[in-house]
Amino acid sequence: MKRRSFLKLGAAASALYASPRPRVSLAEVAAPRVQRYVPLGATGLEVSDISFGSSRLSDASLVRYAYERGVTYFDTAESYRGGASETAVGTALAGVRDKVIIASKTKARAGQDRRQIMAALEGSLKRLRTDYVDLYYIHAVNDIDRLENPEWAEFTERALEQGKIRFRGVSGHGSNLVKCLNYALDHKLADVVLVAFNFAQDPEFTEKLRHLFHYVALQPGLVEVLARARAQGVGVIAMKTLMGARLNDMREFESEGFTFAQAALRWVLSGEHADAALISMTGEFEIDEYLAASGSAQPAQAETRLLARYVAMHGSNHCQQGCGICVDSCSFGVPISDVLRARMYEVDYQDRRLALESYANLEMGAGQCLSCSRPTCLDACPNNVPIAVLTRDTARRFGDA
């Protein structure tokens, strides 16, 4: 099937599921656009239901392409592409700043003081060519110490007063995600949370799989903490919505008018756990493909079957980010799920640069695994992820011998 007709088919399928069965002529389907804008918790912000993730971005024209198709939320970070992602977002949106929501992030480590964090924000504002960001996240939190640092809270208060940030947030996808989110909610540290969440982490989905094969959703407490956030008026944005993004593996099964990515997005967007979905946009083809799922109602049965096929193909070798059940299984303290996330960036996303950045940011890598003679992690994963095999492979990939 040719690219354009394939995408049109996806858009047509989306329209069919979202409304009381209008008959849509494929010839009439325009290039996909955002179909729905959603409130982000109690912030008063409204964002496109599918939003622009830019962890792999350095091309301003892609940002503009997405904006012209109705995307209004653009998410970046000081660390993405060494600042090039922020520069690309700032360049593309300079003339339409008041029409878009821009979010950025900083690591804000436990020992940092407010002046250092403010300097990081100033650097982001400069690259983004703006006086303020709508949302500023403490990035990839997996450690309560970073949230407990009073300098972060002080910094956000000052930045809010000075109008340099409009709202503050917490982003995370690590093994302590649930604990960190609960802490942030307890201490009113977040107006919005950006969390790894996909169909395979939704108990409603995994319940449907029980009759097919053994599969366990490995993130105890995640949907509960997301419900708690929403009840408090905290906005929830889902990321890592494709469960590893092995899109190319799924193409041969995408024959019923939708793609795997559209099905995965539709699952998150039609559920009750998140306001919006963020997805890394790496090309015009992908932007068209993803936006065809905007405004989605419940996934059709065939789409759920496609998601189930994906889990069957990858569930036993895919680490569910944020699960953390194996966290204490390594006596050397290797941060297993973080190591496997860096591997995912290389193997599944095929993005070596992002993988190297992610691995370099870990406080400890997997070098220890190469000489580990008694791998106590062997049976630690209820989903049978072969931890030692994958962590050793990761150490070799990143030269951590």
Binding site for ligand SF4 (CB under 6 A): 175, 218, 319-320, 323-326, 330, 332, 334, 336-337, 340, 368-369, 372, 375-377, 380-381, 383, 385, 387-388, 391
Q: Which is nearer to ligand SF4, 263 or 385 (CB)?
A: 385
Q: What angle do CA 39, 44, 50 make, to 5 degrees?
A: 30
Q: Which is nearer to ligand SF4, 217 or 269 (CB)?
A: 217
3-state helix, strand, coil in the chain (%, to 5): 45, 10, 40
Considering only CA atoms, give the Rg of the chain. 20
Q: Which is nearer to ligand SF4, 39 or 382 (CB)?
A: 382
- Least distance between ligand SF4 and beta carbon 380 (Å): 6
State the helix-helix crossing angle for 260-270 and 301-314, rounded to 10 degrees: 110
Give strand pairing partners of 46. Answer: 39
Q: Which is nearer to ligand SF4, 209 or 385 (CB)?
A: 385
- Least distance between ligand SF4 and beta carbon 337 (Å): 4
The DSSP H or E segment spanning 365 is none
Q: Which is nearer to ligand SF4, 9 or 323 (CB)?
A: 323
Task: Report the C-alpha gap between 302 and 319 in whole angstroms.
Answer: 25
- Least distance between ligand SF4 and beta carbon 342 (Å): 13
- Least distance between ligand SF4 and beta carbon 159 (Å): 34
Give every CB contact of residue 72 below 8 A, 6+ residues apart in sequence: 34, 37, 46, 47, 48, 51, 99, 100, 101
**CB 40, CB 23: distance < 8 Å:** no
First-to-final CA distance of the chain: 45
**CB 342, CB 353: distance < 8 Å:** no
Q: Which is nearer to ligand SF4, 49 or 400 (CB)?
A: 400
Q: Where on the phi/psi map is residue 140: left (φ > 0), alpha (ψ -120 to 50), or beta? A: left
Q: Which is nearer to ligand SF4, 196 or 326 (CB)?
A: 326
- Least distance between ligand SF4 and beta carbon 217 (Å): 10
- Least distance between ligand SF4 and beta carbon 318 (Å): 7
- Least distance between ligand SF4 and beta carbon 202 (Å): 15
